[in-house]
């Protein structure tokens, strides 16, 4: 029979691990959203920051970004005087799209992906997924170390807690695989 304090300690450790693993999944989804799929997607520009009054500001906070005809992004800055700065920032972000400044808005044509490019982007998605799995395994290690260091837990308590942490890790690793598979399918579809 577990002592109340032991089960409480194990539950706190599990809850902390679950929270960290959820953050790893959120980070994975954020990174995958930035990978091109051949269709115009405003998330491609998520990491673009524009120098605005001396400080780097995310593009999506200073311009409206819309999709036109499925293959073109239109960036319309709220302040027209920063059009050139936005253009420079998009070029500097190295996202593989060439900005076209027409004096009013910036247009980005998203080219059709070649088979080779699709495979490369799919590999990138897998790499991002592998990074997420590494983060989840590190969280598992931290949780197991935390459990082992706790003097209030018996050997059986430690073993039970480690099994629960492993189940949690397996659950989140499976989620990562599913999310990456969906993104890869999206990339590979024409």
Domains and CATH numbers, the chain: 4-34+114-188 (1.10.132.20), 42-109 (3.30.1360.40)
Average confidence score pLDDT of the chain: 88
Nearest-5° Cα angle at 29, 67 to 127? 110
Dig out the tokens for 34 from the structure: 């930035």
Q: How far apart are CA 35 and CA 37, in angstroms?
A: 7
pLDDT tens digits for range 100-113 = 988 889 998 888 87
Residue 27: per-residue pLDDT: 93
Q: Report the interhelical angle of 4-33 vs 115-149 (nearest 10°).
A: 160
Q: How far apart are CA 106 and CA 99, in angstroms?
A: 6
Q: What is the pTM of this model?
A: 0.74
Q: Phi/psi class of residue 68: alpha, beta or left (left: φ > 0; alpha: ψ in -120 to 50)?
A: beta
Residue 134: per-residue pLDDT: 96
pLDDT of residue 1 exceeding 50, the answer is: no
- Provide the residue count of the chain: 190
pLDDT tens digits for range 11-54 = 899 999 999 999 999 999 988 887 777 777 888 888 888 888 88
Calculate the alpha carbon distances from 182 to 98, 125, 135, 154 in Å: 28, 10, 20, 42
Contact, 73 vs 42, CB < 8 A? yes
**Rounded mean pLDDT of 157-171?**
93
pLDDT of residue 167 exceeding 80, the answer is: yes
Dig out the tokens for 50 from the structure: 């524009």
Q: Return the half-sphere exposure (C-beta side, CA atoms, 13 A cut-off) of residue 185.
A: 6
């Amino acid at each position: 029979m577990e002592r109340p304090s032991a089960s409480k300690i194990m539950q706190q450790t599990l809850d902390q691990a679950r929270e960290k693993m959820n953050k790893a999944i959120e980070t994975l989804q954020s990174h995958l959203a930035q990978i091109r799929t051949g269709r115009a997607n405003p998330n491609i520009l998520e990491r673009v920051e524009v120098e605005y009054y001396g400080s780097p500001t995310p593009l999506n906070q200073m311009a409206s970004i819309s999709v036109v005809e499925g293959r073109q992004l239109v960036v319309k800055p709220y302040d027209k005087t920063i059009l050139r700065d936005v253009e420079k920032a998009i070029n500097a972000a190295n996202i593989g799209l060439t900005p076209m400044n027409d004096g009013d808005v910036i247009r980005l044509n998203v080219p059709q992906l070649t088979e080779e490019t699709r495979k490369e982007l799919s590999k990138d998605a897998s790499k991002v997924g592998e990074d997420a799995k590494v983060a989840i395994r590190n969280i598992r290690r931290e949780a197991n170390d935390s459990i082992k260091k706790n003097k209030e837990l018996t050997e059986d308590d430690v073993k039970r807690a480690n099994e629960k942490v492993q189940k949690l890790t397996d659950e989140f690793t499976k989620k990562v695989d599913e999310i990456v598979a969906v993104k890869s399918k999206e990339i590979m579809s024409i």
